[in-house]
Amino acid sequence: MTQKTTHQKAWLLVTPVVVLVAFNALIPLMTVVNYSFQETFGNNIFFWEGTHWFEEVLHSDRFAASLVRQIVFTTIILLIEIPFGVAIALSMPRKGPWVSVCLVMMALPLLIPWNVVGAMWNIFALPDIGLLGKTLNSLGFDYDYTQQPFSAWFTVILMDVWHWTSLVVLLSYAGLSSIPEAYYQAAKIDGASPWAIIRYIELPKMKRVLIIAFLLRFMDSFMIYTEPFVLTGGGPGNATTFLSIDLVKVALGQFDLGPAAAMSLIYFLIILLTCWLFYTLTMKDEAQ
Amino acid sequence: MTLEFKQVEKRVGAETHIYPTDLKLEDGGFNILLGTTLSGKTTMLHLMAGLDRPTSGEVWFNGKNVTRAPVQARNVSMVHQQFINYPNFNVFENIASPLRIQRTPAVEIDKRVAEVAELLNLTPLLKRGPSELSGGQQQRTALARALVKDSDLVLLDEPLANLDYKLREELRDQLPKLFENRGCTVVYATSEPNEALLLGGHTATLHEGQVTQFGETAKIYRRPKDLRSAKVFADPPMNTAPVAKQGDTFVLNDTVSWTAGEQQRGLGDSAYTVGIRPHHITPAARGAGAVPIVGEVLITEFSGSESIIHFRVEGRTWVSQAQGIHPFEIGTQAEFFLDSANCIYFGPDNELVSA
């Protein structure tokens, strides 16, 4: 019989990580869990509420509306940014002096702080003095993001595409650069068309980075807060009140800590579950 | 199916990758491009395939000038050192891919893929994806893709270099047979002289972008045209040393000299360079022409059944390749024997004068 050896010392070695993770993830998370099951009126007095806040949030029309807005927004963002990013990456030069120029230009939007992006677009899109707003209006479009929900959505989406497509581009470009030259030669010898090269060599070879890009963009856009907050503040009305904006309104505007905590947890679980499902499903055929 | 290079030259910027080259590969043959890394083998293959255009000169194929013809118009296939297959096709689809592009009828595709798969022992693997194959299976799939097309010209760019030893041997045995009777011209690039010898056919030795010699593999091994070809086509490297001919005797130094063989009788008294392959220097005397030479042992390497011994004589390092295990003590003086009957001689301009 083989003896299973245990090394108690190993626990000592992982302690720093455990402590670190506990402080930056577990303890704050558990605080939220704590709030979500109780009611408090300050002074550290808590009343047990059970699953009441969860039921309230799940049955509220307001939460449902924010969630729908959030899902629509994220879907549109992904549908635009992933294909657009891949297309830009495919059309970028692979060698020569222009490579670094293109890469720096692509990286620029990513280097701008998020609230600055919001403020930039806020001014850029103003219908009376902003370059974009003024131009659209003088072209005959009735555009005013501070008044019309459609204009507000249009601006938020345009801003996000401007801000984040670069990430997809850079990831795809990294994937493309790792394809050996011999693949292209083989395709050329076969007489494959440019489209066939993209479809049967480049896209399959980019699969892994695209999964990462998709996951990152999904998570980020699902949690979007700063830019629409600075741009529209969630308005006009509630038109661009996405989940996180709504959450902040509940938690800090109304100071309803219990429902806000419950909402946070539901929000967190949705993201976690979606990512896990997506990752497991896409990686299933890889593992075989 | 002849492939001919007429003064083909390839320059990239200020660098010359291939110096003007004339080369004529006869039909249906197995041709080997032998040269070290960066000697221009891959560039030569690309020029043959049409993946690269020559800077000057012409490429003729079957009596037609194809210098400007794009690769698709040339009916070539190529196998690379890396294992190149379509990542999301299974083996069957990978092999069928060149035929699909040519719009071959499905019935015919099934038949030809089945044939080639049988030939390369891929039949049980047809449904698998490239990521589920071993290196050898992936490379066999790539070979099958090259075979199924019935190309006029098949280019193999060090196809066995990334395979492990056993698989390499196995595939190397199969290769010449695979292309037999297919009527295609095969060009096989390799950096290993032994591989060239095992494959046979014709060999072109490449040295720094120049084809130094082309001919039947065994012939150019025995009679290298000059010192460069001799050095390319030798593993371990050929021993070379200056010798002086005085009458009927070649003099290496004060203690080592030997009588010239019959072929060398006609050579004038002058300075030559002698080339001796390592396996013609042995620790034991063999035959009548054995000439003793004493040197200091530097390194001994054992590779299975043979020993490679490096020893120094008057500042020059010599290499002996001998059957069996010869455990020399490093640093000691030891006696070796040159086989003077198997020496080759190069003149002052490094051209072969006698072999």
Where in chain B are the domains?
A: 3-232, 239-354
Structure confidence at residue A40 (pLDDT): 79
**Per-residue pLDDT at B287 exceeds 80:** no
Contact of A42 with chain B, judged by CB distance below 8 Å, is answered with no
Q: For the segment B227-245, what is each residue's pLDDT rounded down to a tens digit?
A: 888 888 888 888 988 888 8
Closest Cα in chain B, distance from residue A178 (Å): 13
Structure confidence at residue A286 (pLDDT): 63
Higher pLDDT among residues B290 and A273, named by residue: A273
pLDDT band at B201 (very low <50, low <70, confident <90, very high): confident
Mean pLDDT of B99-120: 89
**Per-residue pLDDT at A281 exceeds 60:** yes
Distances (CA, A) of A193 to A56, A196, B72, B263: 57, 5, 10, 60
Structure confidence at residue B200 (pLDDT): 84
**Per-residue pLDDT at B57 exceeds 70:** yes
Q: In this structure, are residues B258 and B291 in contact, taking their beta carbons and an 8 Å threshold?
A: yes
Structure confidence at residue B18 (pLDDT): 87
Mean pLDDT of B164-171: 84
Strand intervals (E) in B46-183: 56-61, 64-65, 76-79, 153-157
Query: Which chain A residue has its CA at the smallest distance from B49's CA?
Result: A189
Q: In this structure, are residues B203 and B34 in contact, taking their beta carbons and an 8 Å threshold?
A: yes
Q: B3-232: which CATH number, 2.40.37.20, 3.40.50.300, 3.40.50.720, 2.160.20.10?
A: 3.40.50.300
What are residue B334's DSSP bridge partners?
Answer: B295
Distances (CA, A) of A59 to A39, A55, A250, B277: 18, 6, 15, 89
Instruction: Tell me what percent of the residues of chain B surpass a pLDDT of 90.
Output: 10
Q: A60-287: which CATH number, 3.40.50.300, 1.10.3720.10, 3.30.70.1230, 2.40.340.10?
A: 1.10.3720.10
Distance CA B156, CA A180 (A): 17
pLDDT band at B223 (very low <50, low <70, confident <90, very high): confident
Contact of A191 with chain B, judged by CB distance below 8 Å, is answered with yes
Structure confidence at residue A175 (pLDDT): 92
Higher pLDDT among residues A128 and A157, named by residue: A157
Q: For the segment A169-182, what is each residue's pLDDT rounded down to a tens digit?
A: 999 999 999 998 88
Whether residue A288 and residue B72 make contact (CB cut-off 8 A), yes or no, is no
Q: Which of A5-14, A71-80, A237-246 has the lowest mean pLDDT?
A: A5-14
Q: For the segment A1-57, what is each residue's pLDDT rounded down to a tens digit?
A: 456 666 778 888 899 998 998 888 888 888 888 888 888 777 777 888 888 888 888
Distance CA A131, CA A135 (A): 6
Distances (CA, A) of A103 to A42, A88, A109, A172, A222: 52, 11, 11, 12, 26
Q: In this structure, are residues A30 and A255 in contact, taking their beta carbons and an 8 Å threshold?
A: no
Tokens of A196: 């066939």
Distance CA A220, CA A226 (A): 11
Nearest to A182 among B72, B84, B97 (CB): B84
For all residues of chain A together, what is the average pLDDT? 88
Structure confidence at residue A2 (pLDDT): 56
Q: In this structure, are residues B54 and B47 in contact, taking their beta carbons and an 8 Å threshold?
A: yes
Q: B239-354: which CATH number, 3.40.830.10, 3.30.420.40, 3.30.70.1520, 2.40.50.140?
A: 2.40.50.140
Whether residue A201 and residue B49 make contact (CB cut-off 8 A), yes or no, is no
Distance CA B171, CA B140 (A): 8
Mean pLDDT of B61-88: 87
Whether residue A189 and residue B84 make contact (CB cut-off 8 A), yes or no, is no
pLDDT band at B167 (very low <50, low <70, confident <90, very high): confident
Query: Which chain B residue has its CA at the smallest distance from A201's CA?
Result: B86
Closest Cα in chain B, distance from residue A277 (Å): 22
Whether residue A180 and residue B82 make contact (CB cut-off 8 A), yes or no, is yes
Mean pLDDT of B288-314: 87
Closest Cα in chain A, distance from residue B210 (Å): 24
Q: For the segment A208-219, what is each residue's pLDDT rounded down to a tens digit?
A: 899 989 999 999
**Per-residue pLDDT at A288 exceeds 70:** no
pLDDT band at A279 (very low <50, low <70, confident <90, very high): confident
Instruction: Choose from B75, B79, B86 for mutation: most chain A CBs within 10 A.
Output: B86
Question: Residue A40 phi/psi, 5° resolution?
Answer: -135, 145
Q: In this structure, are residues A233 and A183 in contact, taking their beta carbons and an 8 Å threshold?
A: no
Mean pLDDT of A182-194: 87
CB pairs A-B closer than 8 Å: 48
Structure confidence at residue A285 (pLDDT): 64
